[in-house]
Amino acid sequence: MITPRAAASCLAFLLVIMPGARALALKVERIPHFSPASGRTSTINAAAGSAIVRFKTGVSSSAAAAALAPAGFAVLKNYERFNWSALALPEGLGVAAGLQLLGTSPVVEWAEPNRVYRPKKTSNDIYLAQQYALSRVQAFGAWEYETGFSSRATVAVLDTGIDGSHPELSGKLIGTSRKFDPFSGAASDNQPPTAACNHATRAAGVAAAASDNSAGVAGMSWGAKLLSLKVFADTDCYDDCGDEAGYLSCSTSETSIAAAVDDAISLHDTAAAGKVIINMSLGDSGTCSGPLQTAVNVATTTGLMLFAAAGNSGASFIDTPANCEGVIAVGATDLQDGQASFSNSDTLMITKGVAAPGVDLYTTNINGGYASATGTSFSSPLTAGLAALLWSARPDKTGKEIWDVIKNSADDLGSPGPDRDFGYGRINALKAMRLAVTGSTQFAGTNKAVAYPNPFRPGTQRLVTFTVPEEMSAPSVEVKIYTSEGELVRKLTSSAWDGKNEAGAAVASGVYLFRVKTDKDAAVGKMALIR
């Protein structure tokens, strides 16, 4: 049996060997939260011992600090760019009581909790299909236009820290990797970057793993750079980032997120980083807070793009910061192009959201490995990587214009038009690239070719012929026949087929795909062959 005195001695020993323990594992409080929109009171997670305030106009930060000091409040950091400050509460004072006390201060304009955010993920499923997602969003066709090397774009991964030793990521890192104290937001260098757990390394690989290098996996953007902004503590996160018992594990705060956003803002449109896209595969329930919205507003006004995971609770609302104005929310689709069972829905998706594959994405993992990852945490960087790819092709476009390209080229799923499940639809990299480069989503394969007769019966009908729209007609024609699984059966230099493969053997009954290419364009179609 451990006596109280022994327990106290043990605690004292731990405090000696673990100085600054508060900074290593963020303590979290659940506090009441009233939503004016719904008129309901719920609870939100807040960083214990801290708050966010804006001082009144004309009150300097030093004067405000002096006014609050007698009550035990201390300024942790002044976010001058966002015009608010992070405070440490008096020892032992709860967040709700601290906010109430700050609300009565003559130097404080408003006071809000320092909200808590976590990496968004579900448990890993069994690996099913290596990088099927790239095929689903037609990345291979997009790469015919642009692979990301023509100009610079950087995906800033605001997460648990990228494993900078991974061979597919180490060469993509730019600038100085940074880590931010989850409590105060204080920044320090983390060069080369280290990982608190696997989460950020997996997200980074989805967005921009080294590609076309005869090894590993391909990122959505081959040429995009990566910036590691670690907002979680090493000792507070586990390899699976999943232990949320008591809502104490692997947590960060609003102040830390804001500090990382501030860091990214300073790099936007610099020679090293180029265009900066922030990916935030983290979040929590509740509405977007005023302090965080202020940081987002400054970032978007500066020209950055911000993407965030919609959340994995299968809820009827998306998480914050995905619900912040100016942040693009990304939901997840499954292997059948339906909404993933865990992906959150929200009417906000109708105006600010898209979806992307989020089940079993094969990607980079810590310690130089690879793993299958599931969750909106990985749908978001896939979309952020697409933004980097598009910005590389069209660096003259603004972030808003790149977003217009992404949403206007998405494949409509679910109910016709934008909806609460898929937003504008599931991203389509090829259509997006075509729209960015040519101004139209029409591309080779959009046009439809026709087979006659269909179904084709080789036993009684000697040939099947293929025709294309009149505007595509040209003397030179090439036809390729594929199985429904995409295996090439026959390549023709005429517009007729006898139902035989390259070896001259009769093919089996079934459904076949065909692609007709002329000097002007290309078209695709489908036919049945019956023996």
Q: Tell me the pTM.
A: 0.76
Which domains can be identified in the chain, with CATH numbers?
26-116 (3.30.70.80), 118-438 (3.40.50.200), 447-529 (2.60.40.10)
Catalytic entry in 33, 50, 85, 159: 159
Asked if 465 and 477 count as a contact pair (C-beta separation under 8 A), the reply is: no
Q: What residue type is assigned to position 113 of the chain?
A: P
Give the full edge-to-edge strand order of the sheet including 178-180. Answer: 187-189, 178-180, 225-230, 153-159, 275-280, 305-309, 327-333, 353-357
Alpha carbon distance 276, 264 (integer Å): 7
Annotation marks residue 188 as catalytic: no
The residues, ordered by sequence, that sit 6+ positions from 339 with a Cβ below 8 Å of its Cβ are: 331, 332, 333, 345, 355, 413, 414, 421, 422
Asked if 427 and 405 count as a contact pair (C-beta separation under 8 A), the reply is: no
Annotation marks residue 380 as catalytic: no
Annotation marks residue 519 as catalytic: no
What is residue 522's predicted lDDT score, i.e. its pLDDT? 80
Catalytic entry in 163, 199, 360, 411: 199
Instruction: Report the residue count for the chain.
Output: 531
531 residues of the chain, pLDDT tens digit each: 334 334 333 333 333 333 333 445 789 998 987 765 556 667 788 999 999 999 999 999 999 999 999 999 999 999 999 999 999 999 999 999 999 999 999 999 999 999 998 886 543 323 334 778 988 898 877 887 888 877 789 999 999 999 999 999 999 999 999 999 999 999 999 999 999 999 999 999 999 998 877 778 989 999 999 999 999 999 888 766 654 443 457 899 999 999 999 999 999 999 999 999 999 999 999 999 999 999 999 999 999 999 999 999 999 999 999 999 999 999 999 999 999 999 999 999 999 999 999 999 999 999 999 999 999 999 999 999 999 999 999 999 999 999 999 999 999 999 899 999 999 999 999 899 989 987 877 654 456 778 888 888 888 888 888 877 766 777 778 899 998 777 889 999 888 899 999 999 999 988 898 888 887 778 888 888 888
What is residue 470's predicted lDDT score, i.e. its pLDDT? 67
What is residue 128's predicted lDDT score, i.e. its pLDDT? 30
Catalytic entry in 377, 379, 392, 409: 377
What's the CA dihedral at 421, 422, 423, 428 to 10 degrees? 180
What is residue 457's predicted lDDT score, i.e. its pLDDT? 87
**Hey, is 213 helix, strand or coil?**
coil
